[in-house]
Amino acid sequence: MTNLMDETFMREALKEAKRAFQREEVPVGAVLVHEGKVIAKGHNQVEMLKDATAHAEMICMGAGAQALNNWRLIDTTLYCTLEPCAMCAGALLLSRVKRVVWGAPDLRHGAGGSWVDLFSIQHPTHKLEVTSRVLEQECGALMQAFFRQRRV
């Protein structure tokens, strides 16, 4: 169930996605929240870094680990504008993120049920809470605008 706090933090993730858009990256943004505060931000940098792993979530979790001085992101929530892919889903589990909140579905790569559902499989060491489709229309509209612009 969506709450006002989720929408507030998803709007922060959308700001990051817009930064990616401005840099001609696929517009995905993420923020990591700990104790009610944003401790890390990230947006896609795949093209800039020429690195297929430079997804918004990965960059954000890396920055979060630095902020907490710990790779274990216990009691954090990651907000991302797009459903995480399999790589990012794995990183969320390995990093011990408590909760992920995502916006628009990713029909081609989404690991939260659109392509595959890695979050529904019981993990041996970690349970991840998932909230999906928060501000779905806004997150999806940004993606559509980006790809429409690329096709012109």
Please tell me which residue in 7, 25, 35, 57 is annotated as part of the active site: 57
Sequence-ordered list of residues with C-beta below 8 angstroms from that of 106, at least 6 positions apart, any chain: 82, 83, 85, 114, 115
Counting every residue written for the chain, the total comes to 152
Picking from 15, 21, 141, 150, the residue whose alpha carbon sits closest to that of residue 80 is 15
| C-alpha pair distances (Å), 40 with each of 12, 68, 101, 145 | 11, 10, 15, 26
- Give pLDDT tens digits for 90-147: 999 999 999 999 999 999 999 999 999 999 999 898 999 999 999 999 999 999 999 9
pLDDT at 1: 47
- Give pLDDT tens digits for 1-59: 469 999 999 999 999 999 999 999 999 999 999 999 999 999 999 999 999 999 999 99
Across the chain, the runs of DSSP E, i.e. the strands, are 29-34, 37-43, 76-82, 99-104, 129-131
pLDDT at 151: 79
pLDDT at 2: 60
- Give pLDDT tens digits for 57-100: 999 999 999 999 999 999 999 999 999 999 999 999 999 999 99
Please state, in angstroms and rounded to a whole number, the distance separating the CA atoms of residues 85 and 109: 5
Residue type for 41, please? K
Per the annotation, the verdict on 57 as an active-site residue is yes
